[in-house]
Chain A
Amino acid sequence: MSAVSEDIAQRDRSFRDRVLEEYGGLQGILFLLPTLVLLTGIVFYPMVVNGFLLSFKQFTLNPDAVDPWVGLENYEYWLFGQGQSLFLFSLKMTLLYELVVVPFDLVVALAAALVMNESLPARPFWRGLMLAGYASPAIAAGLVWGTMEQAATYGLVYNTLNIFFDIPASGGITSNTPWAFWGVVIAKVWRDFGFMYVVFLAGVQSIPTELYEIAKVDGAGPVQRFRYITLPHLRTVIVTVVMIRTVFTVGKVAIPWAVTQGGPVNYTTFLGVAIFKSAFLNWSMGQAAALGMLFAVGIIPLILIWVRTETEDY
């Protein structure tokens, strides 16, 4: 379009339209105002002042006292000082936790979605019950699984696993080193796979059934049908959901905390739990904020990728 015709289009618009356009912008800001005020007050301002700046200070519990600046001391504590071994160990365990929980979640959710997509009597009822875990508070899930992992008559999980493996009876699953990790994983997957399940169920339902009919006529077996029809259809959904789950899993405290309290010693102290312990158990908020900032450095690229996939259709 040439500059002249644009000019004409500009002139042709009525005064009312132009006024509305101006006010449209104003309205947009006006509509956004409550959210902006709220988020500034409870997220942006505290994140900068109490989160970022606090990581360079020594926190004193007295709210009236001025927290003294300590420069990079808090960061040094985690990277080179006393906290180093905990930081490195916790980083390793966090990565391991992610590598186990997310694929485990994915497989269970996909299996559940496929089963619930079949014709079953009273299907809506079963579909609803599959969300029992996701509907329970994480703390409740952690408490129940933690209880069932005790070495006692009521410790169902312990008693079952003890048939196959030799788990020390003192403390059961939750207080013996390699087992505590798996104890947390079971509770975590039970609680959280429902989210992926809902998304996959919606995805599987959107696949046209004709595709399967055609594949059947062509002689494709069940494995081939899954491999060449179901998986390709779910690919984009799987990628986004895995990314979201990865970011979410790393920052959640409730389940490891309820099942093992981060123990035995620091065995299940994942990064989120480490921040939580350091801030609200040892009350060294400055150090915790510094660890949080180190954590954020790792997590922000993931969030940016997600934000990009979310806004690219603009």
Chain B
Amino acid sequence: MSTDTDRRFEFETDQSGWSWETHYKPVLKYISLAVLMVWMLLPVYYTFANSLKTPEMIFTQPLGIPFVTFDPVAFSGRNAWRTMWDAFPFVEYTLATFIVSVGTAGLATVAAVFAAYSFARLDYPFKNSLFVLSVAGFMFPIVLLAIPIFVLMQELGLLNTYVGMILAFTAFTLPYNIWLLRGFFEELPDNLEESARVDGCTQIGAFFRVILPLSRPALASVFLLAFLLAWHNYLMAFIIGQDPLHTTLAPALLELKGTFFVRNFHYIMAGTFLSMIVPITMYMYLQKYLVEGLSSGGGVKG
């Protein structure tokens, strides 16, 4: 697709020798891509490759490529991925992380849909102040929430329970979800409910029959973001789940590092890789939804 101007432009720059568009830019583009990718993926590769080695191999060839420069210890019985199940309750941790993340995302999404809808579409006294109050929690540092929530959970006897962890995680995922969903609801055309009302729906009926089905993609992305926030969180999980078997992967990893650092180095790498690969896969697969969720409505602002 070269128009006249394009051709003239290329011609002009070619005459003057080396030009940005034809010579430097493509080179610089691929060099930058390579540098960024190496920087981005080195830790991921390092984690994966070293999870397949024995501790001695990690010392002798830390960058060795699995199946190429060394034979993974997969079948020798010293495989981190297999021994892990016996040495450390990894299945339990992963399961716990999954339960807590799904619970948090579910609770935060269901509550947020109604709240965000009312902020975007309905009118009532003190709406703006209530919105500010509901959303400010998202900006509030989690460390500052951690102490009050810990004391509360201790009083309620919810320490070391999934319920306690889900509630604690909801404290910071719910405001975020409200914020994102409000941006989405505000972008929907104004006359949607009106036409449903003309057809005999009540306001609530219109919400359930028209608005909710339309917002399925937004709900999916908000659910995922909440899931990932919960999956990633360390602080809340650490304070609520002090009992080793009722905590998520993030605090478990640090505990693993404390228990066996150098001797069972490959375990740490296997565990770390496990905790990384689930969300990375989700991001890759659902990138479109996530980027839409982050960049639509309130998202671009944050």
Chain A interface residues (CB < 8 Å from chain B): 20, 23-29, 31-36, 38-39, 41-47, 49-51, 54, 59, 63, 111-112, 115, 118, 120, 124, 126-141, 143-145, 147-148, 152-154, 156, 190, 195, 198-199, 201-203, 213, 216-217, 221-222, 237, 240-241, 244, 247-248, 250-254, 257-258, 272, 275-276, 279-280, 285, 288-289, 292, 295-296, 299, 302-303, 306-307, 309-311, 314
Contact = CB atoms under 8 A, between A and B. Distances in A.
Contacts of B294: 195, 198-199, 202
A42 B114 contact: no
A136 B145 CA distance: 23
B79 interface: no
Nearest to A279: B147
Interface of B: 5, 9, 20-21, 25, 29, 32-33, 36-37, 39-44, 46-47, 50, 58-60, 62-63, 107, 110-112, 114-115, 117-119, 122-125, 127-128, 130-137, 139-152, 154-155, 167-168, 170-171, 174-175, 178-179, 203-204, 228, 231-232, 234-235, 238-239, 249-251, 253-254, 257, 265, 268, 272, 275-276, 279-280, 282-284, 287, 290-291, 294-295, 298-302
Contacts of B299: 199
B49 to A, nearest CB: 11
Nearest to A306: B139
Classify the interface of chain A: helix, strand, loop or mixed: helix
Contacts of B39: 190
B143 A28 contact: no
A54 B134 contact: no
A137 B232 contact: yes
B251 to A, nearest CB: 8
Contacts of A31: 114-115, 117-118, 122
Given A140-B275, A148-B46, A50 B152 contact: yes
A139 B250 contact: yes
30 contacts: A27-B203, A28-B123, A42-B170, A42-B171, A49-B148, A50-B152, A54-B151, A115-B29, A115-B32, A120-B29, A126-B37, A132-B40, A132-B280, A132-B283, A135-B283, A138-B232, A143-B253, A144-B272, A145-B43, A156-B63, A201-B291, A216-B21, A248-B139, A272-B141, A275-B143, A285-B150, A289-B147, A292-B143, A302-B139, A303-B136
Contacts of B112: 35
Contacts of A33: 114
Classify the interface of chain B: helix, strand, loop or mixed: helix
Given A237-B301, A254-B234, 13 more contacts: A39-B174, A43-B137, A120-B29, A136-B275, A137-B232, A139-B253, A143-B253, A143-B257, A201-B291, A244-B139, A254-B235, A276-B146, A311-B131
A142 to B, nearest CB: 9
Contacts of B134: 32, 35-36, 39
Given A32-B114, A139-B250, A311-B128, A50 B29 contact: no
Nearest to A137: B232
Given A137-B275, A222-B20, A314-B128, A129 B148 contact: no
B250 A292 contact: no
B183 to A, nearest CB: 10
B115 A115 contact: no
Given A34-B115, A35-B111, A35-B112, A202 B287 contact: no
A259 to B, nearest CB: 11
Contacts of A115: 29, 32-33, 36
